[in-house]
């Protein structure tokens, strides 16, 4: 259904999640089911001319972990799925919280064509770039250096106003 709706909106990239880990099911079984499901989902996405982007999401302490919550976990699955209509949503906020090493993972994912969307939001407050610990000036330079042509999605709040946050983000992306 997401693929059909995305196609109606001009080929948007629906963000998808694979769900939480299942403590009573061996990881190898879960992973095989994820791969099979993503291949089927990729075929559906292809029929509608869209690309699904799988988002590794962070987990708060005490919560059941997402099955694919890091780039290190998601990339091998995307490689095995090997479907041009299934990529990773590289959400810098979640990935910084879960594993860090953003530049190396971003470089790897872009080099191997596993990333379909880059999503920004600062850590720890999920506000605009420049208000936290991620070096967004470097990230924007890296995206340019790697010749990234996809969307940069701003999933973030603001430390001031939405207009000011978008202006800071736009300026930082153009200057770096």
Residue spans of alpha helices (H) in the chain: 2-8, 27-48, 71-81, 92-98, 102-111, 136-145, 162-175
Cα(154)–Cα(134) distance, integer angstroms: 14
> What are the φ/ψ torsions at residue 104 (nearest 5 degrees)?
-65, -45
In terms of Cβ atoms closer than 10 Å to its own Cβ (0-12, 13-18, 19+), residue 126 is: middle
Catalytic residues: 55, 155
CB neighbours of residue 105 within 10 Å: 23
Q: In the 8-state DSSP scheme, what is residue 160?
A: S
Q: Among 125, 149, 39, 122, which residue's Cα sits nearest to residue 84?
A: 39
Q: Among 43, 149, 56, which residue's Cα sits nearest to residue 102?
A: 56
């Amino acid at each position: 259904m997401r693929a059909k709706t995305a196609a109606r909106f001009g080929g948007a990239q629906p963000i998808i999640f694979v769900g939480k880990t299942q403590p009573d099911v061996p990881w190898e079984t879960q992973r095989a089911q994820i791969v099979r499901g993503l291949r089927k989902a990729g075929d559906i996405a292809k029929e509608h001319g869209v690309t699904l982007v799988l988002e590794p999401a962070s987990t708060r302490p005490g919560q059941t972990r997402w099955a694919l919550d890091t780039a290190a976990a998601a990339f091998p699955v995307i490689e095995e799925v090997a479907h041009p209509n299934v990529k990773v949503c590289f959400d810098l906020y979640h990935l910084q919280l879960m594993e860090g090493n953003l530049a190396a993972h971003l470089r790897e994912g872009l080099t191997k064509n596993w990333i379909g969307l880059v999503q920004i939001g600062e850590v720890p407050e999920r506000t605009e770039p420049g208000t936290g610990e991620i070096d967004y000036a470097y990230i924007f330079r890296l995206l340019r250096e790697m010749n990234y042509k996809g969307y940069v999605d701003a999933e973030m709040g603001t430390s001031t106003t939405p207009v000011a946050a978008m202006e800071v983000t736009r300026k930082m992306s153009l200057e770096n």
